[in-house]
Chains A and B, each alone.
Chain A
Amino acid sequence: MSDLSPAPPSVPTVSAAGLTLRYGGTAALDDVSVRLGEGVTGLLGPNGAGKTTLLRVLATAVPPDKGAFTVLGHDPGTSAGRQEVRRALGYLPQAPGFHPDFSAFEFVDYVAILKELTDRTARHREVRRVLDAVALSDVRSKRIKKLSGGMRQRVALAAALVGDPGFLVLDEPTVGLDPEQRMRFRELIARAGEGRTVLLSTHQTEDVAMLCHRVIVMVRGRVRFEGTPAELTARAAGRVWSSTEREPGAWAGWRTGTGSFRNVGEPPEGAELVEPTLEDGYLLTLDGESSEVTAA
């Protein structure tokens, strides 16, 4: 995954311009323009930055107040266009609901029907395929209420994947998963990104570092950064250093396992610079915008 193309999408499958959406007085989205191409695009941002709102707008769940976007060439502003977008869409909402009395198979089948997969045999084959893909074949006839949290999350992913959508919108799919489950999930999402456009909202910078070929950072409803993960990491080049004492000038600093301090910010003269990570670049991009960050 290290050899992902750093170039911006040549043929955007999703392009949005000037998306604005206000809830009451606050702008959840403020003039957001993004272009997404094939592959996994990560969407980072503190809580309340508008990530879920952007995903909901792009998933046609809410119309924007202003601005327009197209998905695979269809304009969701018209009802016919919206239906076309929905036909090409796979959506995994944040903290998805389930029908606890349905089996995994039934639930995904239900979603497949709602995606207009009408031929019964073909649909069942497709449901089995996606359940296979998320490694749930063994428990597909178990009721969802009997499944673990990680399994449920995979059911939701299968529901998003069913019908082979061209545009996959995943809202924090790895929340609440243990490290091994998260690893498996990353693999699934990476595979899903082969030949598709995937927009992945997450709090986990490792997810982005390992999966995404592009990353968007949102703060307060605006796009603060759009580029490759390498570019985001590069933002922290020369701004991460290690020291033996707590550095009062550092914007964020913490004692690491080795006993030394790792600092992010403007380094003093002669500081011992260390290799930055994507998270460092992300934190510096936020630049103290979020109380969340200082707590972290």
Chain B
Amino acid sequence: MSTVLETPARAAGTTHPPRPWAAVLALARFEARELRLNMSFLALAVLYMIWIVWQATRLQGDFPILQNVDRGTQMMPVLIGLAVMLNVNRAVLRSRRRDTDRHFDVLVVEPWRRTVAHALSAVPAALFTAVCVTVQFTWAALKPGAAGHGSPAELAVGPLTVLLFGVLGALFGRLFLSILAAPILLVLLFFAMVFLAPPAGNNWVNWLYPVVSETGSDPFPSDLLERPAAWHALYLVGLVLLIALLAVLVSGGRTTAVKAAVAGALALTLVGAVGQSSGTPAGSTPARERASVTPEKIRKCIEHGRSTYCAFPEWTGRTADWAAVVDRVQNLAGGRAGGERLTVDQRIDARYGLDSDTSLTPSTEPGHVTVRTDWGGNRIPEFAVAVASVLVAGDEKAGTEVCDARMVTVMWLALGGASDPMSALSDVRLDDSVSGPALVLSPTEPFNMSAEQTRIVAELLKKPRYDVAGKVKAKWTELTSPDTSMARVAELLNVSAAAASDGDACEE
């Protein structure tokens, strides 16, 4: 062999100063690289990034509510956490499975320090998650239609979850010598998380799980969330430390400092757990009661054109979007309705908690239209329907009860000005159809549309807008009278009438 050992003469003893913690960091870096290059982690990381892009561009729409977006970042990191946990676990068990323990156990870095390094190897994955979460949130916050406030504590849950799963992988690796233990425990954990937790969000047991995402149909104003988010983040930090230190303790680091740190982490976890134990109120609180029953004391009213728009403080920036819809609908209306002063009231029923899907009762005040806290997508044509029904029937309550031929006018007013009226029609209908009878959604109560009404509306929507608009304005009084028959409406609007059936939805 021609190779030469370059240091024939060597100094006895150590040639480098002992730096035990630098070695731990170097090992953590090595293991983090192994994790990063692992196929399952890579695949899930890529999937996660695709999901972020998809949900920001497709799912979320243009009007994100930031106090919901922050909670929305919490679920996907669980998937990353899964990959991190199983890989950290495998890395911890690697030297045992491959029989290198005999060698490594006489090396300078002791097993408990190696455990610290394994726990730390999850940190880059957590940082990656933190970056993803930040991008996801910032993307939403930068949208012109964004409203509300995010909470840093809610945003911290995702990265902390990844870290928690990572240290759990290290602990399981030190507790159970089988490689099968971690996957099985993970299934048990997930099962317990999904099915054994009591359903209500106010239970303290619920808050012991890393991710507590409560979402209902209506975004709440951020001061009504009343989630113990900061306590929960503190609890997670404590739990991460506790589990990591337990893993160190199990692998032989039984120094006083470690024991003291375990006690400290336990205290931190308990403080967090107690702090969050009241949970989110399931039902009403004085603030929620006030926002639900007497919202006028909280809302701010802003005038755009003829009409007034009253929104919860976090939504005032959105009133212009509402005004655009109101103007668009009102421009198609004739008679007095075309110049009527409307009042748009933003309403919410927060008395049943974050998880609830509540319905609002239609307003009985003349000229008042309800808008909910959610906006964008189907909520826009639904609001347009409510505006049109108030213009035609006078008030929202009467509007939702319209079943006769006025329905045609309402629907045409609501949708005729939309950029794509036919798709707007399918959007407001519960079954997404454009023919046959269906329920039509509005911010308050839904109402029925018969097959014949649908057919006529669809036919009108396919005609040139100015053509129909002229006829609607000209015949406004007759078209908005409850006594006008379907056949007459069809005739007025120059649409072929069905031969036999009158076809309104009133008899249903």
Chain A contacts to B: CB under 8 angstroms: 13, 59-61, 72-73, 83-84, 86-89, 91-93, 96-100, 106, 109-111, 113-118, 120, 123, 129, 132-135, 159, 163-164, 166, 184, 187-188, 191-192, 194-196
Q: In the complex, A187→B9 CA distance in Å?
A: 17
- Contact residues of B between 1 and 41, Cβ < 8 Å to A: 1, 3-10, 12-16, 18-20, 22-23, 25-27, 30
Q: Would B5 and A89 count as touching, CB distance under 8 A?
A: no
Q: In the complex, A88→B16 CA distance in Å?
A: 10
Known contacts A132-B3, A135-B1, A116 near B20 by CB under 8 Å = yes
At the interface, is chain B mostly helix, strand, loop or mixed? loop
Q: Would A97 and B98 count as touching, CB distance under 8 A?
A: yes
Q: In the complex, A34→B241 CA distance in Å?
A: 47
Q: Would B108 and A116 count as touching, CB distance under 8 A?
A: yes
Which residues on B sit within 8 Å (CB–CB) of A159? 103
Q: Would A194 and B5 count as touching, CB distance under 8 A?
A: yes
* Max chain A Cβ within 10 angstroms of own Cβ: one of B4, B7, B13, B100: B100
Query: Does B99 lie at the interface of the complex (its beta carbon under 8 Å from any beta carbon of A)?
Result: yes
Q: In the complex, A187→B25 CA distance in Å?
A: 36
Known contacts A99-B98, A113-B109, A114-B108, A188 near B1 by CB under 8 Å = yes
A244 to chain B, nearest CB (A): 43
Which residues on A sit within 8 Å (CB–CB) of B10? 164, 166, 195-196
A162 to chain B, nearest CB (A): 10
Q: Would A164 and B15 count as touching, CB distance under 8 A?
A: yes
Known contacts A88-B14, A118-B23, A188-B1, A61 near B102 by CB under 8 Å = yes
Which residues on B sit within 8 Å (CB–CB) of A83? 18, 108
Q: In the complex, A111→B101 CA distance in Å?
A: 11
Which residues on B sit within 8 Å (CB–CB) of A61? 102, 105-106
B444 to chain A, nearest CB (A): 61
Which residues on B sit within 8 Å (CB–CB) of A116? 16, 18-20, 22-23, 108-109
Query: Does B465 lie at the interface of the complex (its beta carbon under 8 Å from any beta carbon of A)?
Result: no
Which residues on B sit within 8 Å (CB–CB) of A120? 26
Query: Does B114 lie at the interface of the complex (its beta carbon under 8 Å from any beta carbon of A)?
Result: yes
Could you list some 12 contacts between A and B, CB below 8 A? Answer: A83-B18, A88-B14, A97-B101, A97-B103, A111-B107, A113-B23, A114-B109, A116-B23, A116-B108, A132-B3, A195-B7, A195-B10
Q: Mark B122-146, 1 if CB is under 8 A from A, else 0.
A: 0000000000000000000000000
Which residues on A sit within 8 Å (CB–CB) of B94? 99
Closest to A187 in B: B1
Partner of A118, one of B1, B19, B105: B19
Q: In the complex, A88→B12 CA distance in Å?
A: 8
Q: Would A195 and B9 count as touching, CB distance under 8 A?
A: yes
Query: Does B190 lie at the interface of the complex (its beta carbon under 8 Å from any beta carbon of A)?
Result: no
Q: Shortest 4 CB-CB distances between A and B: which pairs?
A: A97-B99, A118-B22, A114-B107, A97-B100
Number of chain B residues whose Cβ lies closer than 8 Å to a Cβ of chain A: 38
Partner of A86, one of B9, B15, B107: B107
Which residues on B sit within 8 Å (CB–CB) of A96? 99-100, 102-103
Query: Does B104 lie at the interface of the complex (its beta carbon under 8 Å from any beta carbon of A)?
Result: yes
Which residues on A sit within 8 Å (CB–CB) of B19? 116, 118
Closest to B117 in A: A113
Which residues on B sit within 8 Å (CB–CB) of A163? 15-16
Q: In the complex, A233→B6 CA distance in Å?
A: 33
A59 to chain B, nearest CB (A): 5
Which residues on B sit within 8 Å (CB–CB) of A134? 3
Known contacts A113-B30, A184-B1, A97 near B14 by CB under 8 Å = no
Known contacts A83-B108, A132-B3, A135-B3, A117 near B100 by CB under 8 Å = no
Q: Would A98 and B100 count as touching, CB distance under 8 A?
A: yes
Which residues on A sit within 8 Å (CB–CB) of B16? 116-118, 163
Sample of 19 more A-B contacts, CB < 8 Å, known A87-B108, A114-B109? A61-B106, A84-B14, A86-B106, A86-B107, A86-B108, A91-B103, A91-B106, A96-B102, A97-B102, A97-B103, A100-B98, A111-B107, A117-B23, A118-B25, A133-B4, A135-B1, A164-B10, A191-B5, A195-B8
Q: Would B109 and A93 count as touching, CB distance under 8 A?
A: no
Which residues on B sit within 8 Å (CB–CB) of A187? 1
Q: Would A93 and B30 count as touching, CB distance under 8 A?
A: no
Q: In the complex, A184→B7 CA distance in Å?
A: 19
Q: Would B26 and A133 count as touching, CB distance under 8 A?
A: no
- Contact residues of B between 304 and 354, Cβ < 8 Å to A: none
Which residues on B sit within 8 Å (CB–CB) of A92? 103
Which residues on B sit within 8 Å (CB–CB) of A115? 107-109
Q: In the complex, A113→B334 CA distance in Å?
A: 82
Q: In the complex, A87→B16 CA distance in Å?
A: 9
Which residues on B sit within 8 Å (CB–CB) of A192? 5
Q: In the complex, A132→B1 CA distance in Å?
A: 11
Q: Mark B433-444, 1 if CB is under 8 A from A, else 0.
A: 000000000000
Q: Would A110 and B30 count as touching, CB distance under 8 A?
A: yes
Q: Mark B80-101, 1 if CB is under 8 A from A, else 0.
A: 0000000000000011001111
Q: In the complex, A111→B107 CA distance in Å?
A: 8
Which residues on A sit within 8 Å (CB–CB) of B23? 113-114, 116-118
Q: In the complex, A132→B109 CA distance in Å?
A: 25
Q: Would A129 and B6 count as touching, CB distance under 8 A?
A: yes
Q: In the complex, A123→B6 CA distance in Å?
A: 15
